[in-house]
Amino acid sequence: MNYKINELFETIQGEGSFTGQPSIFIRLQGCPVGCSWCDTKHTWDIELDDQVSPDIMLAKKAETSQWANFSAEDILALVKEKHFKAKHIVITGGEPCMVDLTPLCETFEDLGYSTQIETSGTFEIITTEKCWVTVSPKIKMRGGYDILASAMSRANEIKHPVATEQNVDDLKELLAMHQVENTPVYLQPISQKKRATELAIATCIANNWRLSVQVHKYIGIE
């Protein structure tokens, strides 16, 4: 099975439960959800004209919509070739759950890596039992996709972007609908704006939720 890869790099996880964890990010191409504040819009469309060789994709110096096909074995070989030290794999996008992620996660888990998926919750999550699933529910987005009950029940953590009280109300409604009680909930201020951050802090305190502040953006790393 081949995966359409837009980026592959080693950095520090800046969000959610694994904040501060050295991680290898695998960014997949393709997402129809249509979040207005998305900071990776270059991963939305899958155009055949944007398909390039693995070498060209890896040599990119800026964000582009170019992608390359990699098998799970190709990705593992590349990680070894680059001598990456991190033992945590983050599969993101785009929307990674548009494809079966089981072979990719198994390839790394069999060698002692931990794996994590970051998904909008709008597609069935097909992965291993060990994989940590971060659901960042994208509610009422332009693409018109519903948040799946199966995604909410599979979530190991819920990470929700907030800018307004309506975003908070939408999340509370979603949690009540799916009877989510014991899953850790993180609020993430959109674009690190002051008002959004203040709202997130107050809401976290009021509901015993957690704050996710996108540490990588504050310290200026990828």
Rounded CA-CA distance 129/154 in Å is 10
Q: Is 27 annotated as a binding residue?
A: yes
The rounded Cα 27 to chain-centroid distance in angstroms is: 8
| Token pair belonging to 116 | 């994590």
Q: Is 121 annotated as a binding residue?
A: no
- The number of residues making up the chain comes to 222
Q: Is 40 annotated as a binding residue?
A: yes
Q: Is 136 annotated as a binding residue?
A: yes
Q: Is 14 annotated as a binding residue?
A: yes
Quickly list DSSP for 30-94.
---S--TT-S-GGGS---GGGB--HHHHHT--S--S-BEEEEHHHHHHHHHHTT----EEEEESS
Q: Is 31 annotated as a binding residue?
A: yes
Backbone angles phi, psi at 59, to 5 degrees: -85, 0
Q: Is 204 annotated as a binding residue?
A: no
* Sole residue written with tokens 């785009």: 94
| Token pair belonging to 186 | 């993180």
> Could you tell me if residue 220 is left (phi over 0), alpha (psi between -120 and 50 degrees) or otherwise beta?
left
**Known binding residues for substrate:** 12-14, 27, 92
**Residues placed in the known binding site for [4Fe-4S] cluster:** 31, 35, 38
Residues annotated as binding site for S-adenosyl-L-methionine?
A: 37-39, 94, 136-138
Known binding-site residues for Mg(2+) equal: 40
Q: Please enumerate, by residue number, every residue annotated as part of a binding site.
A: 12-14, 27, 31, 35, 37-40, 92, 94, 136-138
